Amino acid sequence: MPTNFTQCQDCKLQFPTKGLERPLPVRLGWIGEFGIHDLCVECRRKVYSAYKEPCPPGVGVYIDTKIKIRIFPRITLTEATAQYCLLDRHLEELPYIQVHALEAVNGVYEVKMYEERLVLEKARWLYGGDIGIDNARDAFSWQKGGAIDLPPVGVVRERRNRIRQMFLQRELFAPSKLPAIQCYIENGRGDLWEIVNALAV
Using CB under 5 A as the criterion, which residues of the chain lie in contact with Zn ion when the complex forms?
8, 10-11, 40, 43
Are 137 and 85 in contact by the 8 Å Cβ rule? The answer is yes
Least separation in angstroms between CB 185 and Zn ion: 40
Q: What residues contact 27, with CB distance under 8 A and at least 6 apart?
A: 34, 35, 36
* For Zn ion, the closer CB: 43 or 71: 43
Least separation in angstroms between CB 13 and Zn ion: 6
Are 37 and 26 in contact by the 8 Å Cβ rule? The answer is yes
Least separation in angstroms between CB 7 and Zn ion: 9
Alpha carbon of residue 18 to chain centroid: 23
Are 73 and 159 in contact by the 8 Å Cβ rule? The answer is no
* For Zn ion, the closer CB: 10 or 115: 10
Alpha carbon of residue 56 to chain centroid: 10
Q: What residues contact 90, with CB distance under 8 A and at least 6 apart?
A: 122, 123, 126
Least separation in angstroms between CB 30 and Zn ion: 16
* For Zn ion, the closer CB: 12 or 144: 12
* For Zn ion, the closer CB: 23 or 175: 23
- Rounded-to-integer distance, Cα 187 and Cα 47, Å: 39
Least separation in angstroms between CB 22 and Zn ion: 11
* For Zn ion, the closer CB: 62 or 125: 125
Radius of gyration of the chain (CA): 20
